[in-house]
Amino acid sequence: MSHARSYELFINGKWRAGSSRATSPVINPATEKVFASVAAATVSDLDEALASAERSRRAWSSRPAKERGDLLVAAAGILAAKVRDAAKDLSEEQGKTFPEATGEYARAVETLEWNGTHAVGLSAPIPLGLNRMIFPEPLGVVAAFTPWNYPAVLIARKLAPALAAGCPVILKGAEETPSAAVHIVEAFRQAGIPDGVVNLVFGVPVQISRHLLSSSIVKVLTFTGSTEVGKQLAALAANNLQRCILELGGHSPVIVCEDADLARAVPAISEYKFECAGQSCNAPSRILVARPLYKEFLSRMTEAARKIKIGLPDDPGTEMGPMANARRIEAMQRLTKDAVERGARIEVGGARLDRPGFYWPPTLLTGVPKDAKVLHDEPFGPILTVAPFDTIEEAIEEANATEYGLAAYFFTGTAEVKRALISGLSAGALSVNYLKGVSADAPYGGVKQSGYGYEGGEQGVRSFQNLKLVNGFAS
Ligand code: NAD
C-alpha cells in the first residue's frame, strides 16, 4: 500500500529510499489510521552511512569552529522559517497539540542557535596555569538514537553539540515520528552541510544499533529512551569502548511543603504534567503533600485534572491530545489495574476514553500502596499518584524511593527546607516553586537508573570532545 507521504533516509548528502525498498507505516495516534510510511535502512545502507560519515570526518573536524557554528545558526534560521508546517506534521504523527509542537520546535531552533554561537568558544584551547594547555578535539563519528516523545528538541540536543564539536553524526530517528528528523536534517542540507556530516536512518532499531555500535568507526553513542534499551546499547558500546551519553527514564516527585502556595503549585504541576499527554522523561509522577495541605491540594488537583480539555491535537481548544501509541495505553491500563487491585483509589480518570485514538485522561491515584508498580515503573503518561507526608525527612525518603533519579520538584519558601531538599533529593535536576525542563544553555542528565552524561550547555558539547592535555606547553 502506498501512502501520500513517504519519509526517506539521508545518506551521504542525498535523500533516498532504503536499498531494499522496505518501509514501515506511520500512524496518526488521534485516529489510529496510517497516513505515511518511512523507509527502513538495510545493512548496506548503514555501511554507506558509516563510510560517508568517516570520509567527512577530517574535513569537518578541521573546519574552523566559526564556520561550523555559522552553519548551525543558518540551519536554525531555515528551521525557524518552516516551524508552522513542521509543527503540523509533528502534531499529526505524535499526538501533541499544535501549540505544544510549535513550542518544541522553538526550543529546537534555540538549541541549534545556542550551540552555533558557542562553537568557537567551546573549541578554543583552555590554558591551565602558565605551562599547560587543554586542546578540545572532536571524538569522531557519533551514533545518535532519539525517541518519539520530543523528536524535534531531542534531535537538536544531540545533533547540534556534536556538530559544534566537529563530529559527524549518524542519526537514527524514531520510526513512529519521522517528520521531525526529516525537517531538521533538511534544514542542515539547505544550510550547506557537507556530504556525510549528517546522515539519517530509520529501520529496525535493534538491528541498526547493533550494526552501528559494532563498527569501530563510531566513537560516541548518545541515546534517549528507556533504561532497559539504554543498558542494552551501553553493553554493545562496551565492546568498542564508545563514549556513552544516556538520557533514560524518570519517575519524578513533587514535594508540596506546608508553606506552599497552592494557587501557584496546582496549575504549575497540572500544566507541566499533562504536556505531551505526560510522555516526558521528567514529567512529575508522584506528588507528596504536607498533611495539613493534603485535602485541599487533592481537591484542587482533581479539579484541575478534570478540567483539562482533551481533543484532537489540531483543534485550537485542545489542551491534551492522545498518547503516542497503543503501547502507552496498555501501560496505563496495566499500572492502573495493578494499583487498584492493591487498594488504590481513582480520584479522576483511570480508563481509556471511548473514542477513536489512543486517549487516556488525566488520572489521579491516592492510597497507593508502596509495592504498587505505578510507584516504581516509569508511568510515562498522564497518571499521577498523590500521598500525604508528615516530615521533610519522610518526604525525601519517599521521593528517593525509586530506581530513577532524573528530576525532582518542590514548593516551599522556607530557606532551611530548601537546603534540606536540595541536598537530600537524588536527582539530576531540581526546580524550586515551579517546574522546568531542559534548556539549551544548561547541563541536564540523570543519576541512578536515569542514565549518565550530560546534554545541554557547555557540558553538552564537551560530551563529544577529547580534552587533550599538553604539559609543558610553554617550554
Ligand atoms: P523503547 O524502550 O522500546 O523505545 C524507546 C526509544 O528507543 C524508541 O524511539 C525506540 O525506537 C528506541 N529503541 C528501542 N530499542 C532500541 C534499540 N535496540 N536500539 C536503538 N534504539 C532503540 O520503548 P517505547 O515503548 O518506545 O517507549 C516506552 C518507554 O521508553 C517509556 O516507558 C519510557 O521509559 C521510555 N522513553 C523514554 C524517553 C525519554 O525521554 N527518556 C523517551 C521515549 C521513551
CB 68 within 8 A of CB 119: yes
DSSP 320: B
Q: What integer pLDDT is reported at residue 1 of this predicted model? A: 46
Q: Is residue 172 within a helix (H) or strand (E), and if so which, with residue range?
A: strand 169-172
CA distance readout (Å), 112 to 82, 98, 170, 338? 15, 21, 17, 43
CB count in 10 Å sphere of residue 263: 9
Among the listed residues 198, 245, 249, the one whose alpha carbon sits nearest the alpha carbon of residue 221:
245
Q: What is the distance in A from the centroid of ligand 1 to the CA of 199?
A: 21
Distance 147 CA to ligand 1 centre (A): 6
CA-nearest residue for atom 36, ligand 1, is 225
Nearest to 215 by CA among 235, 239, 234: 239
Ligand 1: lining residues by beta carbon, under 6 Å: 145, 147-149, 174, 205-206, 209, 224-226, 228-229, 232-233, 247-249, 281, 327, 378, 380
What are the mean pLDDT values of the chain's consecutive 10-residue runs (475 residues total)?
81 98 98 98 98 98 98 98 98 98 98 98 97 98 98 98 99 98 98 98 98 98 98 98 97 98 98 98 98 98 98 97 98 98 98 98 98 97 98 98 98 98 98 96 98 98 98 95
For 158-188, what is each residue's pLDDT tens digit?
999 999 999 999 999 999 999 999 999 999 9
For 26, 115, 116, 141, 442, the CA distances from 162, given in Å and listed in that order, are: 28, 9, 11, 9, 16
Q: Which three cell numbers stand for residue 175?
A: 520510526
Span from the CA of 149 to the centroid of ligand 1 (angstroms)? 9
Q: Distance between CA 401 and CA 213 in Å, rounded?
A: 34
Ligand 1 mutation target, pool 221, 224, 229, 232, most atoms within 8 A of CB:
229
pLDDT of 3: 59
Any residues with CB less than 8 A from the CB of 121 and at least 6 apart, and which? none
Q: Give residue-wise pLDDT tens across range 88-98.
A: 999 999 999 99
Q: How many helices (H) and strands (E) does the chain have?
A: 14, 23
Task: Please give the backbone phi and psi of residue 288, each rounded to the nearest 5 degrees, phi first.
Answer: -115, 125
**Known catalytic residue at 341:** no
Q: What is the pLDDT of residue 4?
A: 75
CA-closest residue to ligand 1 atom 1: 226
Whole-angstrom distance, CA of residue 169 vs CA of residue 220: 9
Q: How many CA atoms lie within 13 A of 281 on its CB side?
A: 33
347 included as an active-site residue:
no
- The beta strands (E) that lie in 381-434 are given as 383-389, 404-405, 407-411, 429-432
Relative to the CA of 175, which ligand 1 atom is closest? 11
What is d(CA 283, CA 274) in angstroms, rounded to the nearest whole number? 8
Q: Which residue has the cell 519558601?
A: 413
Give me the catalytic one of 113, 247, 347, 378: 247
Pocket test of ligand 1: the residue of 27, 172, 201, 226 to mutate, having most ligand atoms within 8 Å of its CB, is 226
Under 8 Å between Cβ of 371 and 342: yes
